[in-house]
Amino acid sequence: MKLISQSTLQIQKPIEEVFEGIVNPTKMTKYFISESSGPLESGKEVFWKFPEFADKYPVKDIKVETNRSVSFVWDSETVVNIVLEALPDKSTIVKVTENGKEFNEHNLKWVIENTGGWANFLACMKAYLEYGIQLRKGAFEFMKKQEND
């Protein structure tokens, strides 16, 4: 049995804007990452840096369907799928799933943490795309201190 992390949220923006918010690193740095080596494009590999961590993380095996979905291999073993669904009111449902971990005690902690992480990703994206608010700014400064201790 494989564990699956899932999170879903509706964003009050058209699917084109939400898609652009996911694949465009300039937009992503406003709500999720601090740096990217490039946009998310099929067949490419990029590196993401997060403000709370010193390392850069590879994002591999990227597959993009414009205004429909983005998938990639993350953490060298898990697959993230982000699926977009346009609604008649011009809003967009964003569904994130991440899978690839076997069921065990260690990975049970992983699925709980990553489900919360993807919920945070969606909430931060919603705040930025709808209102221009950067929820992540300063939100994880305490993690830098923990990493240095």
Domains of the chain: 2-148 (3.30.530.20)
Collapsed DSSP state (helix, strand, coil) of residue 96: strand
What's the pLDDT tens digit per position in 15-62? 999 999 999 999 999 999 999 999 999 999 999 999 888 899 999 999
∠ CA 93-98-101, rounded to 5° = 160
Element (H, E) at 99: strand 92-102
Per DSSP bridges, beta strands 35-36 and 69-74 are unpaired
For residues 143 and 136, what is the distance between their CA atoms, to the nearest angstrom? 12
- Reported as half-sphere exposure (CB side, CA atoms, 13 A), residue 14 has a value of 2
What's the pLDDT tens digit per position in 65-88? 999 999 999 877 899 999 999 999
- pTM score, whole prediction: 0.91
For residues 34 and 49, what is the distance between their CA atoms, to the nearest angstrom? 6
- The DSSP letter of residue 71 is E
With tokens 């705040």, the residue in question is: 127
